[in-house]
Structure 1
Amino acid sequence: MSVFILWPDQALMSQSLPWKHSMADGNMWTAIFLTNLLVWLILSFVVWKKSSQQQHIAAELLQRLELEKTRQVLQALMQGEEKERTRLSKDLHDGVGGLLSAVKMHFRALQSDLSLQHEKGFNHAMRMLDDAIGEVRKTAHNMTPEILASKGLPAALEFFCRNVSHSRKLQISFFTSGELPRFHNNFELSVYRIVQELVNNIIKHAYATTALVQITQHDGYVSITVEDNGIGFKNIPSAHTGIGLSSLEERVRSLNGQLTITASPGCGTTAYMEFNVGVIQPMEMQFLF
């Protein structure tokens, strides 16, 4: 018969074994829980990230679709405007211009029958008639500038500025820097119309005596500055209050450009446009006529 003596330490160890097993089991379940929680957090983050990216892509796609829709509407409007300008230009040049030239010829035929006392008034009337013919021709040319198609945007803008200066409505200085290549007809014509509208706004509203038009190209961008020494204004009209400005902004944006206007009372106004000509698609550059 064997007798085993259980010492106190051994007895205590024997009593603590179940507790140690229970603690080990608890640690294991805690580790499993934390691991599952971590996996769940990682999966949730991945799902959230993917969903966020998809929402961002969807928002970008929607923005592109809206921009493309706006661009198509603007192109349709500009196409209609250009067709109407072409028609009016032809009517002015061939109709009114031709009629004024015929009137001038008849006046010349009557000149020999005039008495000396009427000659001064006749000559004054002839000068007025010449001015009217010149104005009709300039107006017709500005509506459909042939120089734009033959020589390009800088030459057309310079010619336009010179015509405005000769009319004594406003003295415009024109500058160009950098080697400007020929652009697609739609882009050149659209930019020409935008500058034309900015200059006409100066004449109508700015009470300016001098203005500057400058066009440059650098690193795939074309920048145009139109500024004047007029009265300026305190607050830049917002898209909600300035319909003309909003229309200009949309037209510039449709050409992959940005428009910035700065002004202050008594210090004139500066309009700065920058176009990214490197990203303009060929379909966007089709000729409007």
Structure 2
Amino acid sequence: MPRQEHLSQARGALARRGRPQRPRTRPAALIPRGRVLQQLLAGLLFLCLLAGLAPAAALDAPGFERIEAARADPASPDAPPAGGWTAVTLPDAWAERWPAHDGVVWYRLRWNEPATAGVPAPRGLAMDYFSMAGAVYLNGALLARDPQLDEPLSRSWNHPRHWLLSAPLLRPGPNELLVRVSGLAAYAPGLGPVMVDSPAAADAHYRHEQLIRESLHMLSLGITLAMGVLYGLFWLLRRNETFYGWFSLFSLLWVPVGYNYIARSTWPFGSTDTYQAVNMSALVLSTAAFLMFALRFCGLRRRRAVQLIGGATGLTTAALWLAPHALLSPVRGAAVVVALATYTLSAWIICRHALASPRKREVQALALCTLLPLAAGTHDVLVFHGVLATNLYYTPWSSSAMLVGISFVLTWRFVVGMRLVEHFNDELRHHVEDATQRLSSVLHREHATELQNTRLAERMNLVRDLHDGLGMTLSGHIASLENRDAAGPDTALWALREVRDDLRLIIESSALDDTDRLSERLAPLRHRTTRVLEAAGIECTWALQGLDQCRLDDRRGLDFLRLLQEALANVLKHSRASKVRIGIEAADGQLSLAVADNGSGFTAGRDGHAGMGLRNMEARSRRLNGTLDIRPTPGGTTVALRFPVEVLEDGVR
């Protein structure tokens, strides 16, 4: 180590010795989240244990002197056996006493009934359940019988019943209640609590059992189905938010699980094993779907975890369908444990995400919603494995509460998203209004500029028309008046009339004409220019072909006539020619113009640039989308123009 580093470390140690030491405390905000998470998980585990180990309600059978059970004779299962009776307590599950026994077990309950004046008082009989199917006899008389006592068995394992007992069924003194129970060892067969008491007490007990074993389950089933359909529609409308789809799938897969508590038969399946395989598969798949919901809701993308979930779910489901009947009980137990473990993992993911996102209240609310089913699931696993002496399951009720809570959270999140969209729409509307105002101002300025440019363009067109039209006429008549010998007494008057007529042409051309035939437009110009040229001593020859079928609109027609007029004006003013030939031909969608004179030839202006007349001709040719060619020839100058036009066949439009 360098010497300087030794010196710096020594100085630091001396300085620390000279200062009083302060206790090191960490702010609450800096406590590791892992420790908080461990404390939370410990609390959850304690809550689960309390729910699982909480003692069930008293399930004794008051008033009975003796309760016994005996396996039926396989040869005559419909008759109580003569011997082999064993004392039992209710509720009873015979699989612990007679493992692997699939068949019929008879239960015998005896009590003495006091009598007043030789007639016993009416009594109420309440029975919580028998698993799976059975028949009830009182003193040899049949009270009730399930439709299917052989496989596929009826499902009365969660179906409470009650009867009003009176004479002659109820006897003074000894009474005997026989219950025939048909069941399979893999599905916890046996008899639930039985109560003989006053009619009011038995009816109250029955109503309580019916509420918790049937009514609440039906309510839970309806809520589950509604949530599955509702959030399935949400997912269809918002495919990118996949947690809606996974929550919908979880709810829909939970429907057969909830239906299992109120089903009375194995329909539409032909055996109890098939029915249970479907039910347990739905349980495993629904918890896997809930785990996917937890991952997507928390924004986690764990490809390997998803593959692991899929593999474990597939193996468990395959085992449920492929296991032989003798192994169904352990396989079903393992499936229940897998489902609980999957749900516990989901709750852990959500709670961890809630700790990492303290400002997201919807995540914290979702974490709270997952705690109650976790405790209820622990309780139900203990019941399923026979640790608790009851067949009362809390998962369906807690799952309904969880579904309502989660639906509130998802709806809350949806509403928050809609509020954000509305806020964004308001901001967007303000921006659009502002942009519209700015655009309107810009368009107004552009319109004013365009209007000004249009006015300038019209002025330039008027200047060109005056130059091309009146210029030629004035030039010709000025030349005639300068030749005093040739000018007669009416020359000046004739010249003024020509100027007037040409000015009228300019005015009329600025309005819409009632014809678009080029031949009709050309006739007045041809007449006037011929007179002007011949008055100046220039022989004028016209060659026209196909003009009757040629159509030109107002603007293009005026440009063509002014270009022709300017070409003839140049012949009159600059060429010193004695002859000029004008050829106009319309053919194959093209209009060709050729003005050829025998004058002195074409020369540019003094500064080497074309004059205003030539610039006007070039501008008009561009507007006509044509080509203009002005070239000297051995005998003079030729002006050639060619541009596309509309030529109709036989003059028919």
Normalising to structure 1: TM-score of the pair? 0.49
Structure 1 or 2, whichever has the larger Rg, is 2
* More helix by percentage: 1
Q: Which protein, 1 or 2, shows the higher relative CO under an 8 Å CA cutoff with sep ≥ 6?
A: 1
